[in-house]
Amino acid sequence: MTSPAPVTEALETPRPDPAAVPALSIDGVSHAYGPRRALMDVSFNVQPASFTALLGLNGAGKSTLFSLITRLFGIQSGRVSIFGHDVSKSPGEALRLLGVVFQPRTLDLDLSLTQNLLYHAALHGISRREAAARSAELLGRIGLSDRAGSKVRDLSGGQMRRLEIARALLHRPRLLLLDEPTVGLDVKARADIISHVRQLVTEQGIGVLWATHLFDEIMPGDDLVVLHQGKVLAQGPMSRVVAEAGAQDVNTAFMRLTGAQTMPGGGA
């Protein structure tokens, strides 16, 4: 395996037991908006304690996939399950194991940080006292304890994202979905969020599905799913995907994979 991709730090997570139930299983999922087909027979798994990057350009179908996993849209065909719980058949059991950070901001800007967290906790049926304790702890972890009572409106973009991640962890999910969480953030905020999420994978064993179109957010130890025009073009450990594409790095591999689909003769 030759993978001289830009490596910042080697974070090779141990391969999970293949017999285990995957954190997320997408099985033959297709979705159409009227005549427009957004997803075509998409299948892949996210293992617990792994970082899976869902790589695709805008319009590849990433957000549609997220809407299906979170039950915002009904599943037209195929099956989505979270730790073995079918999202269509037992949504309650599936959703309680899931934390989500959506691409658009979904915080109440006029409420305080704590109020936002307490509201989310209530939606998960977490008692007020327990919720207050967890909120304080999570705010501490993201370094925003001193802002607990401020309005969310007064936070920076990076702080809001950190708060959204904290919120997504409040009910202690074992699978975390993030839809392009670093879009619009500066370099420092981006690096903070990426390292925070990677820490969750290694320290708490959370399975992460990270949708992005930014190649430099992916590292050699990650699992990679390349989604293009609603189809999965490649999946597996990043180094393997890169090697199989005959490329030197993710960037080139992606261009080769997708270029072959869009431009005859391929090329990047």
User: Applying CB under 8 A, which residues contact another protein?
Assistant: 16-17, 19-23, 33-34, 38, 48, 58-60, 62-64, 67, 70-76, 83-85, 88, 90-98, 100, 102-106, 108, 110-111, 115, 118-128, 174, 179-180, 205, 211
Smaller CB distance to another protein: residue 9 or 17?
17
Tell me the three state secondary structure of residue 263. Answer: coil
CA–CA distance, 220 with 192 (Å, rounded to integer)? 19
Radius of gyration of the chain (CA): 19
CA–CA distance, 41 with 109 (Å, rounded to integer)? 38
The backbone region for 122, taken as left when phi is positive above 0, alpha when psi lies in -120 to 50, beta otherwise, is: alpha
State which amino acid sits at residue 13: T
CA–CA distance, 64 with 85 (Å, rounded to integer)? 20
In the complex, what is the shortest distance from the CB of residue 2 to another protein, in angstroms, rounded to a whole number?
A: 31
Smaller CB distance to another protein: residue 111 or 136?
111
Smaller CB distance to another protein: residue 7 or 123?
123
CA–CA distance, 88 with 94 (Å, rounded to integer)? 9
CA–CA distance, 82 with 182 (Å, rounded to integer)? 24
Closest C-alpha to 145, from 163, 128, 158: 163
Closest C-alpha to 160, from 120, 116, 225, 214: 116
Smaller CB distance to another protein: residue 98 or 257?
98
Smaller CB distance to another protein: residue 44 or 102?
102
In the complex, what is the shortest distance from the CB of residue 53 to another protein, in angstroms, rounded to a whole number?
A: 15
Residue in the structure block whose two tokens are 């064993």: 205
Smaller CB distance to another protein: residue 84 or 259?
84
In the complex, what is the shortest distance from the CB of residue 50 to another protein, in angstroms, rounded to a whole number?
A: 11
As given in the structure block, the two tokens for residue 177 are 């979905």
